Amino acid sequence: MLKGKTVVLAVSGSIAAYKIASLASALKKLHANVQVLMTKNAVNFINPITFESLTGNKCLVDTFDRNFQYSVEHVALAKQADVVLVAPASANVIGKIAHGIADDMLTTTVMACKCKKIIAPAMNTNMFDNPILQDNLKILEHYGYEVISPAVGYLACGDTGAGKMPEPELLLQYILREIAYEKDMQGKRVLVTAGPTQESIDPVRFITNHSTGKMGYAIAKMCMLRGAEVTLVSGPTSIAKPEFVHVVDVVTAKEMYEEVTKRAKDQDIIIKAAAVADYRPKSVSSEKMKKKDDDLAIPMERTDDILKFLGEHKKEHQFLCGFSMETENMLENSRKKLEKKHLDMIVANNLKVEGAGFAGDTNVVTIITGQEEVSLGKMTKEETALRILDEILKATN
């Protein structure tokens, strides 16, 4: 994902410095070229050898180190960098960078970089709340730096409040958003639906399906990484919400219908990956239904057809993509749905094909438009999402 990209991790003196080792490792696994800079105070919290072992690159601390391949290291490294993350960023380093002070390897390199720079403050909560520190962060934002809000919790000093450095997993998401993919969806507004719906029978029981939301979540994430402004309308799932995506939680088909239709007119692309219930109980018991000796019959009624509504009310230049989960006659049934619902594209898969369907991390799909069919082999759901987006962009450009 990050092959050919150079990530500069700038580590200052904070107890949170040790967490950056796992971030460096994660970036290396994604094939990034990871260069670590450290202040002299940072080496009191973690040894540079740790970073050198994880990244395969020399960890730079001394501006005037003559035992390294670059004659002017900070300038050469600045030219390579695709993104810089200063984490943990101490109050001292934030103040220096905000006011143009470059007196060590970290600050001189950051000053020389023209790429995107991200700051993750980490310090005592009283220091973080200090108006001078807050003014310095505003200065950095004014000059195009992105400041990550610190987490709130118990700090190493014993205080509780804002000042904790976010976990490495979140820091990684900020880096990926910046450099993982070309921003070929910049400026596009995308609405994605995902997951199942739940239709209550009584206060205890409900009707649902086996959808986990993984495919829709993968699509929402990839749209975001490619620069789109994404809204995800999600039924109940147990998977983590994608970062930097506006998530709207719903439970029933009616709630999903209402949330999607009221937002539809503002979207450039709508991708309906949710498994919405076609039927719901006509009435919901206010009390738990007791078991009886004879059979139980539950009268059902149709839910609102979200995709049909979207197709009939599609605005000019809006692209509408649906999903079709079949167990037989996949292509024939999906083509009928494409035409009946006035879709621009439908993504079809067969539940009985190995590697496709619910719950798993892979999928096997055929992308169908009015002009062609593109069959994809077994891929991860994120890889599948990327190929779906490629086809949507090809059709809209």
How far, in Å, CA of 124 to CA of 159, rounded? 7
| Residue 162, number of CB atoms within 10 A of its CB | 17
How far, in Å, CA of 285 to CA of 314, rounded? 37
C-alpha distances (whole Å) from 344 to each of 8, 151, 276, 339, 376 are 42, 43, 20, 9, 18
Catalytic residue among 59, 113, 115, 157: 157
117 is in an annotated binding site: no
Residue 345 near residue 391 (C-beta atoms within 8 A):
yes
278 is in an annotated binding site: yes
What 3-state class would DSSP assign to 358? coil
138 is in an annotated binding site: no
The token pair that represents 380 in the structure block: 């991860």
Residue 207 near residue 198 (C-beta atoms within 8 A):
yes
How far, in Å, CA of 140 to CA of 145, rounded? 5
Does 157 participate in catalysis according to the annotation? Answer: yes
The token pair that represents 77 in the structure block: 């490294």
The token pair that represents 71 in the structure block: 């004659």
5 is in an annotated binding site: no
How far, in Å, CA of 210 to CA of 221, rounded? 21
How far, in Å, CA of 33 to CA of 346, rounded? 38
295 is in an annotated binding site: no
Active centre residues (catalytic): 157
Q: Which residues are annotated as a binding site for CTP?
A: 278, 288, 323, 337, 341
Q: Which residues are annotated as a binding site?
A: 278, 288, 323, 337, 341
